Structures are given as C-alpha cells and as structure tokens.
Amino acid sequence: MYKRVALIGLGLIASSMFWAMKRASLADEITGYARSSETRDVAREIGLCDRVCDSASEAVEGADLIVLCVPIGAMDAVTREISRFLKPGAVVTDVGSVKRAVINAVEPHLPDGVHFIPGHPLAGTEQSGPRSGFAELFDNRWCLLTPNGAEATEIKKLRTFWEALGSKVDEMDADHHDLVLAVTSHTPHLIAYTMVGVADDLSRVTDTEVVNFSAAGFRDFTRIAASDPTMWRDVFLNNKDATLEILGRFTEELFALQRAIRQGDGDHLHDHFSRTRAIRRGIIEAGQDTDVPNFGRNPVRK
C-alpha cells in the first residue's frame, strides 16, 4: 500500500490512525508532526509514530501518503508549509469534518504531480490530543472520500487503506457531504451546545441539580458539548450555508412542536415521535449506534 505515511497534527484522529495502522501492519514508517513541543514530547513518550519530527517539512519528506489531521482553519497554513517538500506522486488527504472549505484551502497550494483526495472518517469522541487515540476508532464506521477529480487508481488505493483501518468507505461530492454532515453531525452538536448552555444559565435549577439529576438526554448532550472548541468553531465557520439551512428547518420544526405542546395536540406529538423512533431503528439496523468501544485507554501497541 503506502510505504511511508506522514501524519500532520497528532490529536485524536491522527493517533487513532497510527494505532489502527500498527494493528493492520500498514506502512514501513509512520512519521508525525505536531506544532507544539508538548504534543511532540507526549508522542515520543507513548510511542506514537515511528519518528516524531520537529517540523512538518521533515515529516512529509519522502512520504507516499500525507494525512492532514489539524483543525479545518489550520489546513491552509499547514499545506503552504509542506507543499515544497512533497514528493512527486505523493497522495495528500485530510480528515477534516467539512470538505468544500478544505478543498479551497489545500488544493491551490499543491504542486503538479501530487494527488489530493479529501476524506472524512465519521468517527470520533469528545476527547482530543495525542493520548486520546485508539486502534478501534474507525471499526465499522464510514469514511467519506470527496475525490474532486483525482485519479481512479489513487482513489482505489486510499479506499483500500481506510478499509484496512476498519472503515467502510463511500465517495460523494464535497458540497453534498457538507449538507449531509450539517444534518447528521454539525447541527446536532450546535443544539447540544445550546441546551447545555441553557442549563448553565438557568438560575432556578442549581448546578448541583444539573449534575446530580442529569438524565439520559441531557447527559448525552453534555458529552457532545464537551467536544473540542477549536474544532467545532472551525466546523461552523467553514460549513456556514449548510448549517444555517438545516438550523432554519430545525427552528421551524421546534416551533411546530412548541405550538403542539401549548395547544395540547397529542396527535401531533405522537406522530412526530413515531417518525423519529423509526429513524433510530434504522440507525440500529445499519449497525451505526455502537458507542466508542475502547475509549482511548488501551491502544494497540506493536
């Protein structure tokens, strides 16, 4: 497959990719780079990457596959930094949660002869940093590629790579990806952030009550709302149109439910909840409801 892989950014996704690559014995050498010396020190201490480099250019030199694992807002600067050092024929991919903005940020800086295939593993936790990764993160999860005109043989190779990490792989257009993710991930995160903020602001309910009587719905919201602030700031700034569109529809539905509650319209509420229950059943049948199997505590080490 790829002999040398470079991971740029060493957080949750990169470290999980590293452990998953080790589990599958992919690549002869995996190099890594993170901008802070603290993260690089942790990576060296826990054996994350075969070689941790002090510059991004050093990490990518001679690499066959380069994976950009930094927040979306950092993709442009990172690509500028590495572009001169990419070897002809190398494949650059990324794991960003938004695709059109990443294409716009990365593609203009890549030299001729380097292949760019954007990607997004639909797998994550609310944890971040080099210690949070684990080999099973991608197992049975989708990884979406938005190839943007890349060569078929290179796409096939990257597909095989993600499958070896445990993923199921699909391809779609970048704009469609951003709309789908606005529905399935971005707007739900915004709602969780909002609800946890509401509980925090509500002076009639004490903090202790929120913590002690945290029931399933709210507890799930708090887990989601604990996700990395930088990553999610960048998601909303870079998937503005799709998120605003879905948020508009959400608000309309919310007002309809609000009216049904005020008017005592039980039929409306029951119909709505029956429809949503069927969606949940569909997710279970598709095997996409499993929680994180091994919450970053026990990476597969070689």
Q: Applying CB under 6 A, which residues contact ligand NAP?
A: 9-14, 34-36, 39, 69-72, 74, 78, 95-97, 120-121, 124, 128-129, 228, 231
| Least Cβ distance, residue 77 to ligand NAP (angstroms) | 6
Cβ distance to ligand NAP smaller for residue 39 or 243:
39
Cβ distance to ligand NAP smaller for residue 187 or 269:
187
SS3 content of the chain, % helix, strand, coil (to 5): 55, 10, 35
Residues 6+ apart with CB under 8 A from 240: none
Cβ distance to ligand NAP smaller for residue 39 or 187:
39
| Least Cβ distance, residue 66 to ligand NAP (angstroms) | 14
Q: Which two tokens stand for residue 269?
A: 């509420």
Contact 68, 11 (CB under 8 A): no
- For the chain, the C-alpha Rg in angstroms (whole number) is 21
Phi, psi of 263 (to 5 degrees): -90, 0
| Least Cβ distance, residue 249 to ligand NAP (angstroms) | 23
| Least Cβ distance, residue 19 to ligand NAP (angstroms) | 13
CA 300 to chain centre: 21
Cβ distance to ligand NAP smaller for residue 224 or 246:
224
| Least Cβ distance, residue 230 to ligand NAP (angstroms) | 6
Cβ distance to ligand NAP smaller for residue 55 or 206:
55
Residues 6+ apart with CB under 8 A from 3: 27, 28, 29, 64
